[in-house]
Amino acid sequence: MSTIVMAFIVNLYAQVGPIGIIQMPTIFGEFKPATGDYVEYRVHELDSDSVQIVKISVVGETNCEESTDKKKKPQKCYWVEIFSRLESSGHGLLTKMLVSGDPRDPANIKKMYSRIGKRNPVTMKPEDIAKMPKGIGQDIPKNAKIKKQKEPLKVAIRTITATVYDFRIDKLPFTVWMSKDVPIFGMAKLKSPDLEIDITEIGKGAKSEMPEIKEQKEQKQDDAKPANVKLDKETILEEKKDSMDEKGDETEE
């Protein structure tokens, strides 16, 4: 394993802890999902001087809870993927989750899968998801001061317009750039004493990067009784042949 990959995995485990799930970066703004939208950020942690690229995508939607009241519409859930990697490496951690609301709140996460590099995806247990801390980000505080109303920001080959806010969370100062042109959360840029986040790409047409995961249903059955298995004709003939060969061996002895 290369030094770069090893360093990345160590960095990941420093973030995710024993649960093995990467957390959402510090992002402010209201969660407004639309299938196909994606946004990519460059996240620079100043105290450790580590730089990561984090891509957030909305890759699907579904009805996750049917209402008993026929007049009410079924609750809509969204599939959200977060891919995080070191800026200097293509290796990373991919997390896919089905959410009924803001993914920064673990209470909204219905299902979650995690995959490091090209390894097989791991299904996260509900009790592990419940242990996740709530994300630091939130909606822009109502007492936030508008520093600048319209500031142009260049994102890839286009320029967007952002409103700049100044505020504090638990005495920690933040300057945040918010724009209607940025999908999912609307945050374009963030600065704080120990963190800088810059948007690097926005777009539509996002597709899932997580391999297909087949859900395994648990079946209760008597341990003394074998599961009902349908055998084809060739399998039955092979079993009979093996049985006859065993009897022949015993006769020769």
Number of C-alpha atoms within 13 angstroms, CB side, residue 159?
Answer: 4
Kindly state whether residue 10 falls inside one of the protein's structural domains.
yes
Q: How far apart are CA 168 and CA 150, in angstroms?
A: 21
Kindly state whether residue 221 falls inside one of the protein's structural domains.
no
Kindly state whether residue 92 falls inside one of the protein's structural domains.
yes
Angle at 125 between CA 124 and CA 130, to 5 degrees: 105
Domain of residue 45: give its range.
3-203
Domains of the chain: total: 1
CB-based burial of residue 245 (10 Å sphere; 0-12 exposed, 13-18 middle, 19+ buried)? Answer: exposed
pTM reported for the whole predicted model: 0.74
For residue 5, give the 3-state DSSP assignment: helix
Kindly state whether residue 59 falls inside one of the protein's structural domains.
yes
Residue 221: per-residue pLDDT: 41
Residue 19: per-residue pLDDT: 37
In the chain, the DSSP E strands lie at 38-45, 50-65, 75-86, 92-99, 109-116, 122-123, 145-155, 158-169, 172-178, 187-192, 195-203
Angle at 105 between CA 26 and CA 8, to 5 degrees: 45
Q: Which two tokens stand for residue 244?
A: 């006859």
Number of C-alpha atoms within 13 angstroms, CB side, residue 71?
Answer: 0
Q: What is the CATH number of the domain that holds 80?
A: 2.50.20
Chunked mean pLDDT (size 10), the chain, 253 residues: 41 41 78 97 92 96 75 86 88 92 92 91 90 80 91 91 94 95 96 96 95 60 41 44 46 48
